[in-house]
Amino acid sequence: MTRSDKTTRLLVVDDDDVNRMLACAALEEAGFAVDEANDGVAALAVYQERRPDLILLDVMMPGLDGFETCRRLRAQGARVPIIMLTGLEDTASIETAYDSGATDFISKPINWTLLRHRVRYALRASVALDELVRSERNLTAAQQIARIGSWEWEPDSDLCRRSATYCALFGEDAESFGPGMAALIDRVYPADRDKVREALEAVRGGQRYRLEYRIVRPDGMVSTAQEMAVPLRDAAGRVVRVQGTLQDVSERVDAERRIRQLAYFDDLTGLPNRAHFREALQSALLRDGSRGGHCAVVLINVDRFKRINETLGQDAADQVLQVLAVRLGQGYGSVRSDAGGPQSSDAPRMARLSADHFGLFLEGANGRDAVESEIHDVLRRASSPVQLGEQSLTLTLSAGLAFFPEHGESAEGLLKAAEMALGALRRREAHDAIQCYTEQMKVDAFARLSMENALRVALQENQFELHYQPKVNADSGEVVGGEALIRWNHPIDGRVGPDAFIPLAEEIGLIGPLGQWVLRRACEDMKAWRQAGLPAVPIAVNLSASQFGRQDLVGQIREILDQTGTDPALIELEVTESALMRDTRSTAGLLRELHGMGLSLAVDDFGTGYSSLAYLKRFAVDTLKIDRSFVQDCDGGQDDPAIVRAIIAMAGSLGIALVAEGVETVAQARVLQAEGCPVMQGYLFARPMPAGQFAAVLKSGLDKARSIKPAAA
Ligand code: C2E
Ligand code: CA
Ligand code: CA
């Protein structure tokens, strides 16, 4: 007698008092706790109250018979074993017993010794069944959580057993799924069916597999499944069964797609990005190369994009790029490529390569002329005005292009060549233009590169020198100021003028340190002149546009002035008109700050940059330097100096001082004088000269110093 027998509770239901009593006695003797009921209705009540572990139920009872009682017990949710006690040993009543939910039956007369064994057996089977149910339920739950379904297949009979989760992953249940492997194939995404069939063939032949394929649910949803299957063999080694799992990996696949989107596409425009473009280009070249074809790589630049960004703000600039991306992408979305781009087999033809650069790839180009005219069309189509709210923005595009295989055999090489062509346009400040790569560009690029290195060395080894050009009041012949102009004493090439290296220094970010050097040098020269007791005149120093970009410009200037003990009122900063116009927002603030420190500001090359009165006021300008080109037109004689006259009148009305640049002849000087601009700078009076010579000029005036006698006087 085991402990569990003691706690096991039975219910004996029989209308025959003797039978019932004997059954109870036999079972109690075997260690069970026994409740009894003498009809069906009582049995239901006792069941509710005592919750027995097993029920012995007589079939023949008045009122509710055993079958009906059994049925009602099951309907109430009773899952315990129910053993029917029956005197009718015909098959019909046995079947009725099972149909009504009985677990087993014992026919009367009952062998009381055997009864206890039958009861124990039924109890054990019921526990085992319970456990099985529980573990199956666990398995199903686990499958649901992992979104893994399991299946079994007998290839010979094509019998398939599929778990509930498996069917659910297809949006079906076991019945709606249908039998056999054909039912699966029907649900596989058509393009993936062949690979599923092949895998099944292989596993039948004894090979395990792991496979990803798409499935189509009844609602049309497509998901991605990962399936693994292993063959099971009989003793003779024949594959008799295949066991498999199927997992829904749609989320992972989606995540991968999103990652790919991030890695291969530009966020803002949705166009393929540089990495994608380069890979696709490379594989197209491999293919085209083998066909001996010609193709072109085109780099499209949005002219003056930086300025759009700065004046209208980034949101507007982003909108412009989006509009352009749509326009440029039209007709160039994708093209089929045998080699295949990353993941997809569609190679992009239009891509966004960097902030304001788009890339285009033209295949099978029918000669350069055809390509160039196609590009002209593309640019023209894309450069119609862009509407930004109320505002209509006109923009232009430029393109650099390179041909395969002449200008490069790799994607990288072609992109570089097209970039060089674009760089040549940029240096020429050309807009709305197309430039094809030439070999000369490589030569130039190499020269620039070596000059770049030489410039860095020059700064370290102090190869620079400042020359000063006097500013003269032509009425009196007096030197009223000077402009500091940089020179490079190149160890091999000799003296190099600033036009040859300032643009490069700007481009490579060397203008910052170079500008600092110039200001410091000028301040130190002024200090030396001061200490020599020479008369103090304001010295002008040129400031390049790219120096404004540096956040610490104001701090650096203040430090240099402090360290050299220079009076800020004696330093004039010359900024070209075009530099002022380039970056209006930040420049205005910066210049006002410098002005507040006591420095004065001159607009260089005035008249060439289309600045307006409003700008001049905003920038707190002290002096305008009339550009040499207008001065040259003042040769007297036929041309009326209308522009110079207008500039002088405007400066007068704004209270801004004037200097005429590049005065070479007495005739020019006379006209300027007559119009009311007596301060001049030019070869007529003096060329730029070394500091020592300028000191001598400060001491004793210009050699040739003479006042110009006004023509009219
Ligand atoms: P800029 O500021 O307009 O300087 C005047 C230029 O005209 C100087 O050329 C000067 O030598 C030249 N010049 C003066 N008088 C005459 C004349 O009567 N006839 C002619 N044809 N030319 C005359 P330079 O020294 O070659 O400088 C060229 C440009 O390089 C300057 O133009 C200025 O923009 C830039 N530059 C010079 N030094 C510096 C510097 O230290 N920093 C920066 N950022 N730029 C500088
Ligand atoms: Ca200047
Ligand atoms: Ca100038």
Greater confidence, 405 or 300? 300
Greater confidence, 289 or 495? 495
pLDDT at residue 47, rounded to an integer: 95
What CATH number did the domain enclosing 598 receive?
Answer: 3.20.20.450
Pairing state between β 434-436 and 397-404: parallel
User: Is residue 446 in some structural domain?
Assistant: no
Give the mean pLDDT of 172-199. Answer: 94
Contact by Cβ (8 Å): 675, 640: no
Q: Which of 487, 511, 542 to mutate to test the pocket of ligand 1 (most atoms within 8 A of CB)?
A: 542
Tokens 């119009």 locate to 675
Contact by Cβ (8 Å): 587, 580: yes
Q: How far apart are CA 356 and CA 361, in angstroms?
A: 17
One-letter identity of residue 362:
L
pLDDT in tens, 668-692: 999 999 999 999 999 999 999 999 9
Q: How far apart are CA 122 and CA 129, in angstroms?
A: 10
Per the DSSP assignment, residues forming a β-bridge with 149 are: 246
User: Is residue 31 in some structural domain?
Assistant: yes
What is the CA 368 to chain-centroid distance, rounded?
A: 34
pLDDT at residue 3, rounded to an integer: 44
What CATH number did the domain enclosing 316 receive?
Answer: 3.30.70.270
Give the mean pLDDT of 26-46. Answer: 93
Question: In this structure, are 248 and 293 located in the same domain?
Answer: no
Decide whether any atom of ligand 1 lies within 6 Å of the 512 Cβ. Answer: no
- Percent of the chain predicted with pLDDT > 90: 54
User: Is residue 448 in some structural domain?
Assistant: no
Average pLDDT, the chain: 88
6 has a pLDDT exceeding 60: no
pLDDT at residue 90, rounded to an integer: 66
Q: How far apart are CA 132 and CA 123, in angstroms?
A: 14
User: Is residue 295 in some structural domain?
Assistant: yes
36 has a pLDDT exceeding 60: yes
pLDDT at residue 77, rounded to an integer: 85
Q: How confident is the model at residue 104 (pLDDT cuts 50, 70, 90)?
A: confident
pLDDT at residue 329, rounded to an integer: 85
Q: How confident is the model at residue 5 (pLDDT cuts 50, 70, 90)?
A: very low
Range of the domain at 312: 269-437
Per the DSSP assignment, residues forming a β-bridge with 34 are: 10
Q: How confident is the model at residue 293 (pLDDT cuts 50, 70, 90)?
A: low
pLDDT at residue 92, rounded to an integer: 76
Question: In this structure, are 161 and 117 located in the same domain?
Answer: no
**DSSP character for 64?**
S
Residue that finishes a domain, picked among 257, 281, 308: 257
pLDDT at residue 619, rounded to an integer: 81
Question: In this structure, are 477 and 546 located in the same domain?
Answer: yes
Question: In this structure, are 114 and 160 located in the same domain?
Answer: no
Greater confidence, 215 or 116? 215
Q: How far apart are CA 446 and CA 420, in angstroms?
A: 11
pLDDT at residue 613, rounded to an integer: 67
Question: In this structure, are 218 and 146 located in the same domain?
Answer: yes
Kindly report the pTM of this predicted structure.
0.59
Decide whether any atom of ligand 1 lies within 6 Å of the 603 Cβ. Answer: no
Question: In this structure, are 432 and 309 located in the same domain?
Answer: yes
Q: How confident is the model at residue 290 (pLDDT cuts 50, 70, 90)?
A: low
User: Is residue 456 in some structural domain?
Assistant: no
Contact by Cβ (8 Å): 629, 608: yes
Decide whether any atom of ligand 1 lies within 6 Å of the 499 Cβ. Answer: yes
Give the mean pLDDT of 79-88. Answer: 85
696 has a pLDDT exceeding 90: yes
What is the CA 436 to chain-centroid distance, rounded?
A: 30
What CATH number did the domain enclosing 192 receive?
Answer: 3.30.450.20
pLDDT at residue 711, rounded to an integer: 54
Decide whether any atom of ligand 1 lies within 6 Å of the 495 Cβ. Answer: no
**Nearest CA residue ID for atom 13, ligand 1:** 662
Question: In this structure, are 69 and 119 located in the same domain?
Answer: yes
Question: In this structure, are 16 and 120 located in the same domain?
Answer: yes
User: Is residue 657 in some structural domain?
Assistant: yes
**Nearest CA residue ID for atom 12, ligand 1:** 662
pLDDT at residue 171, rounded to an integer: 93
Question: In this structure, are 397 and 503 located in the same domain?
Answer: no
Q: How confident is the model at residue 363 (pLDDT cuts 50, 70, 90)?
A: confident
Decide whether any atom of ligand 1 lies within 6 Å of the 662 Cβ. Answer: yes
Q: How confident is the model at residue 588 (pLDDT cuts 50, 70, 90)?
A: confident
* Residue 268, token pair as written in the block: 């803002």
User: Which ligand minimizes its atom distance to the CA of 602?
Assistant: 2
Phi first, then psi: what are they for 107, rounded to 5°?
-90, 145
Q: Around 371, how many Cα atoms within 13 Å sit in the side-chain half-sphere?
A: 24
Question: In this structure, are 498 and 634 located in the same domain?
Answer: yes
pLDDT in tens, 54-77: 999 998 899 899 999 999 999 988
697 has a pLDDT exceeding 70: yes
Question: In this structure, are 422 and 531 located in the same domain?
Answer: no
Report how many domains make up the chain: 4
User: Is residue 669 in some structural domain?
Assistant: yes
Question: In this structure, are 237 and 297 located in the same domain?
Answer: no
Give the mean pLDDT of 429-452. Answer: 91
pLDDT at residue 347, rounded to an integer: 54
Contact by Cβ (8 Å): 38, 15: yes
- CA quadruple 7, 11, 16, 20: dihedral, nearest 10: -10
Decide whether any atom of ligand 1 lies within 6 Å of the 664 Cβ. Answer: yes
Q: How confident is the model at residue 706 (pLDDT cuts 50, 70, 90)?
A: low
Residue that finishes a domain, picked among 224, 257, 290: 257
89 has a pLDDT exceeding 70: no
pLDDT in tens, 312-360: 888 999 999 999 999 988 877 643 333 333 333 345 689 999 989 999 9
User: Is residue 443 in some structural domain?
Assistant: no
Q: How confident is the model at residue 457 (pLDDT cuts 50, 70, 90)?
A: very high
Residue that finishes a domain, picked among 257, 281, 306: 257
What CATH number did the domain enclosing 14 receive?
Answer: 3.40.50.2300
Give the mean pLDDT of 77-104. Answer: 82
